[in-house]
Amino acid sequence: MLFHVRMEVNLPPAMPAAEAAALKQVEKEQAQALQRAGKWRHLWRVAGQYANVSLFDVESVDELHQLVSTLPLFPYMTIEVTPLCRHPSSIRDDDR
pTM for the model stands at 0.90
Q: Domain 2-84 belongs to what topology?
A: Alpha-Beta Plaits (3.30.70)
Beta-carbon contacts of residue 91 (< 8 Å; ≥ 6 apart): none
What pLDDT digit, counting tens, does each position of 53-64 carry?
Answer: 999 999 999 999
Phi first, then psi: give them for residue 24, nearest 5 degrees: -65, -40
What pLDDT digit, counting tens, does each position of 23-40 carry?
Answer: 999 999 999 999 999 999
CB 21 within 8 A of CB 85: no
- Under DSSP, the state recorded for 68 is H
